[in-house]
Amino acid sequence: MTASIPTVLILGAHRRFGQAATAAFVTAGWYVRAQSRRPDARWPAGVTGVQCDALREADVVRAAQGVEVIINALNPLYTDWELQARPLAANALAAAEASGALLMFPGNVYNFGKNLPPRLTADTPEIPDNSKARIRIEIEQQMRAAAARGVNSVVVRAGDFFGGQARGAWFDLVIVKSLSKGKLVYPGPTDQVHSWAYLPDLAQVFVRLAEQRGQLRGAQRFHFGGHAITGSELHGAMQQASGKSLRLNAFPWGIIRLIAPFAPMMKAVVEMRYLWQRPHALEDGPLHALLGKIPHTPLPQALAQALSDLTQNA
């Protein structure tokens, strides 16, 4: 490797954001170390696979030796958050402290609690009134505490993910799952704004922030506005993107509530239903001030590409 080309370690490179970040950093000319629990020979040129268990601190610290940036794209299943979210984040933080790398973390709106206001800024109060909000707040508090020890970090909060070939989000599991049957299923009131993040755009933001790592000191927090749209707007854009007329169906929350006491995943889903009941959008003024123009793919184009990606990975 030449000293002029920086290296990024992406923890959870097979996850939704991890895949998008890997592609974006390779395209930008970075060397990428892609961490995953299982071996994978399909990485493109410029990517070195790192097989290790991110729950083992020593393995993560070893993988981070000599890198300039670490991206914590690790995101356990809803049902594993209580056991895994904190240690995974702690190991990423330990690796950043040992290597001197900038730690970057894709945040979300959980921090603002069940009664989150419609406009979310970096100064909006954080309310730990549910388990996932509490965990996210604790993780970010640890990152801020580490700043006193010289660890630089950046949290970029964003809305629900869509785009890319990885599966496991509301977009692919619920909203477009029945698209072939002419249905779009929406989990909330269709007249309320919901925040979405098109993953290729968000990944580009991470690249551009990483390129300015020299001026990102302490614990920084930014919001990525993405697409703040109503369910009706999503429905219209999806019809344009898919080229077909789509019935708009409600998500069967009543059935999910009945199942929840017997299914841990459904219980976790019900706990986070408030995100579909409260209108919210992320204010990204500080990110604009730092980066100038923020990557923003027009919604119909982003949806069309997202559908194409899912088809390729079917």
pLDDT at 2 over 50: no
In this structure, of 162-176, 212-226, 238-252, 286-300, the range with the lowest mean pLDDT score is: 162-176
Average pLDDT, the chain: 94
Residue 173 token pair: 């599991």
Mean pLDDT, residues 36-42 taken together: 80
Q: Taking residues 229-245, report their average pLDDT.
A: 96
5-24 tens-digit pLDDT: 999 999 999 989 999 999 99
Residue whose structure tokens are 């204010």: 283
**Boundaries of every domain in the chain:** 7-231+270-312
Q: Please report, rounded to a whole number, the percentage of residues in the chain having pLDDT higher than 90.
A: 89
Q: How far apart are CA 44 and CA 51, in angstroms?
A: 16
Identify the three-state secondary structure at position 296: coil
Considering the domain 7-231+270-312, what is its CATH architecture?
A: 3-Layer(aba) Sandwich (3.40)
Q: Are 86 and 27 in contact (CB under 8 A)?
A: no
**CA dist., res. 74 & res. 142, Å (int):** 16
